[in-house]
Structure formats: structure tokens, C-alpha cells
Amino acid sequence: MPGSRNSNEPEHSKSPRISAEDSEDESEILEESPCGRWVKRREEVDQRDVPGIDFAFLAMDTEEGVEVVWNEVQFSERKNFKAQEEKLRLVFDNLTQLEHPNIVKFHKYWTDHLSEKPRVIFITEYMSSGSLKQFLKKTKKNTKKLPIQGWKRWCSQILSALTYLHSCTPPIIHGNLTCDTIFIQHNGLVKIGSVAPDAIHHHVKTCREDVKNIHFTAPEYGTSLITPTADIYSFGMCALEMAALEILGNGESGTMVTEENIGKTIDLLEDPLQKDLVRTCLRKNPSQRPPARDLLYHPVLYEVHSLKLLTAHAVLKNSKWLPEHWTEEATLSHYGQDKTVAEINHTDGRPGVSMPMCNVQVIEKLEKFMEDVRNGQYPLVPCIIPPPPPPGPRAVSPEVAESVKSDTPEPVDVETRKVLTMMCSLKPLEDKPGLW
């Protein structure tokens, strides 16, 4: 799971020699994946009280040269692991197929039967910027509230990710959505991590321990069948905490948040539409909570996409339009300084107005905007987003019946492909003159 490095002592309290020794200890290799690509280090990663994950270490992807997180889930009894192994494999197979800009990437998983306690080990993307919870704490120290425009962008990104998860076949329930499991990058991109499905929660030892942030958990947990609406309840609590920066009664003491605390925090919000969104998500009856797709159309969040944003998404979907795939000649022919970007023609005979490329002054801002769209900061509403491909096991190859030998020769396929490049080597013959 993603997270930040653990640090129990302030850095200034360590001497340079001790710090160097600690650094060497943390970079020590403890274990390798069966394929040799992932290398586990001694340095632990903050687990953010994620139920089901027992250990999280910093690791290295030796192929890409980037840091990742090595997560371990332990089973207290071997018989429980054997009974659930096939179900867990199906769950993790589906998780590895998830591809969304607002979901922390799930790279690989494998099982370990040789250790004292059976383990499931999985590799996830490393988010070094920290959690949304940490960001809200810093913001609260410097300001009293978050601008509503920033709050809208966060909510839209989170709902876009939930829409993707819930649209899978079968739907994937996050099951652990809190401000501790949502991560924010320096550019404002939000990603939800720690996708720990219900199958994991019910079969690991840590699920029996006390869980922090219990107020994020939907009231139907433990009493009825869990559906994607449980994530909507958790999202509503996240939206409330993002808007208020902190829910009353949930300070550093970590005391349990009551319904009265939640109600008072909602009343402190100034925007009535903001209040309505939170209250809609926090309805006690799961059937009365709208799906994530519908929440993107809530009046406080929905806005008609600009032509600029729609064009950016269209360009990114067609690789041949991307600037990095253009030659210099093609770029100059389309975007030369003397090329006309826009023009106005009048039907009443007045002279028209044209704007050449040299008068456009927002090229750098446009490039940054395109990069932000590519990274997932400006998701489209669900009616424009294509549904995710149905995850599942690899298809079985079809059976082919034996062919019966025929008296007449079978027609030969004619090669229609064109040869683009051919290479050969010329070497002298050893026993006679000439080349071969």
C-alpha cells in the first residue's frame, strides 16, 4: 500500500554518523520477489492504520528503477489460508488489472506458503507526498477553511475513481476509504490507495483488532451484505472532513466521533449544496445513497465541461495527435508563427479579423494543462468516460478439431505484407573463392 517513510526521531537529533548507519540499515535488502524484480528493504512505510495489512516496507523495482511498497498480509492459521486461497487469487487478479489515474497502481502479487504463517505479498505504487489527512492538518494550521473550488476538484477525482471501481464486473468495493487512504501530490492530483476488498478483511488477523477512523465505516457493516453504497458513506465522511478540515471530536486524542459531532460539523459548512451532498452520502439506509456516477451530477460538483477540456481529452486519446509524436516539419507546418489560429469573417462586408500563432501567449500554460489532464486532475463526467474492461481470468483457448487429409492440395495463402527492412551479412568462403 502507498505511504510515507516512518521516522520515530527528528532528523536533527541524530549525528551524521548515526544517520549514515541508519540509512545503510534501512537500505539493507531483506527479501526478493520470486521473479527477482521487486527487492524488499528494511525501511518500513507508514501503514496508516489500514485494516488487513500487517507489514509495509519500502522496496525497489529493479526494472523501472523506482521505489514501490512491499505489502504483507499474514494468515494466523494455515487451514484458513488454504480455504480462501482461490478466492483471494481471483480478487488480486482483478486488482492487478485496474488502470485509473486516481487509483494507486497495484503492480503484482504472490503467495508464500513456506513461512511460519502463510502470506500474501503485493506490490503497490509508492506515494511519497503524503496523505490527505496530513495535508488537511497542515492547512488547518495556516487557514480556517479550504476554497470550495479545490474541494470540488478533490471530490470529482475521488468519485471518478469510485465510479471506475464500482463499474467493474463484479463491482470492486474499496472498503477502507478514509482521508488516511487518500493521497495528494504536489500538483493537486488525488489518488485513492489501499484498495482492500471485503475478501481480505474477513480472513486476516488484523481485522479483529480495533480500527481507527471507525466513523468512516458505513453502519451496515457486520449486519447485512456490503454493497458499493458502503463506499459512498465513507466518501461522504471524507467530503465532510475535507470541507471542514477536521470533524469535531476527532482531534489528536483519537476519540470516537459521535453522530452529534458529525451533525455539528455539517452545520458549520456555509454552502447549502455542500451540506446536501454530505447528508445525501451519509444516509443510514444504503438503498437511499446514490451511486458514485450520479454524485458527479450533484449541483455542487457538476459543471458543463469546457471545449478546452473536451479537446484535451480527445487529443490524449489519439496518440497520433500528441506533440511528442510529431516531427519538427509537421509541427512547423501546423503551428508556425505565421499560421492562423482563429479568424472572424463578417457577412456584412466588414473586413475580417485573424489571429496568428505569434499572438497566442498561453502555450506554456496549455502544455501544463495538458499534463494535468493526462495525470487525471480533470476527469470527465461518467457519460463520456468509457466503462472499465471486465476483469477476470484469462480466456481458455478454443478446441480445434482434427483436420481430415484431402486428396486435393489446400490453397496456399498469398503473402500480402510489405518488407520494410532487410539485412544480410557477407562472409568469405573458407574452401573456395566467393561469398556466402
Q: Which tens digits make up the pLDDT trace of 372-388?
A: 887 777 877 765 555 55
Which residue has 471486465 as its cell numbers?
Answer: 390
Shared domain for 290 and 166, answered yes or no, is yes
Shared domain for 211 and 108, answered yes or no, is no
Higher-scoring residue by pLDDT: 326, 37: 37
Shared domain for 204 and 271, answered yes or no, is yes
- Residue 68 has a pLDDT of 92
CA-CA-CA-CA torsion for 284, 287, 289, 295, nearest 10 degrees?
170
Shared domain for 188 and 45, answered yes or no, is no
73-105 pLDDT, tens per residue?
Answer: 887 666 667 777 777 788 788 888 888 999 998
- Residue 311 has a pLDDT of 81
229-243 pLDDT, tens per residue?
Answer: 999 999 999 999 999
Shared domain for 99 and 157, answered yes or no, is no
Higher-scoring residue by pLDDT: 187, 284: 284
Q: How many residues does the chain have?
A: 436
**In whole angstroms, what is the distance from residue 281 CA to residue 288 CA?**
9
**In whole angstroms, what is the distance from residue 4 CA to residue 44 CA?**
9
Shared domain for 355 and 319, answered yes or no, is yes
Shared domain for 44 and 120, answered yes or no, is yes
Which residue has 478540515 as its cell numbers?
Answer: 245
266-315 pLDDT, tens per residue?
Answer: 999 999 999 999 999 999 999 999 999 999 999 999 887 778 788 888 87
Query: Are the CB atoms for 53 and 194 separated by under 8 Å?
Result: yes
What confidence category does residue 360 fall into, taking pLDDT thresholds of 50, 70 and 90?
Answer: low
The answer to whether residue 406 sits within a structural domain is no
Task: Report if pTM > 0.75.
Answer: no
The answer to whether residue 24 sits within a structural domain is no
Cβ neighbors of 58 (< 8 A, separation 6 or more) are 5, 26, 41, 43, 44, 45, 67, 68, 69, 70, 126
- Residue 207 has a pLDDT of 45
- How many domains would you assign to the chain? 3
Mean pLDDT score, 21-37: 76
Statement: residue 197 has pLDDT above 60: no
Residue 319: domain span: 306-375
Shared domain for 153 and 93, answered yes or no, is no
DSSP 8-state assignment for residue 359: G
Shared domain for 242 and 195, answered yes or no, is yes
Statement: residue 53 has pLDDT above 80: no
Shared domain for 333 and 210, answered yes or no, is no
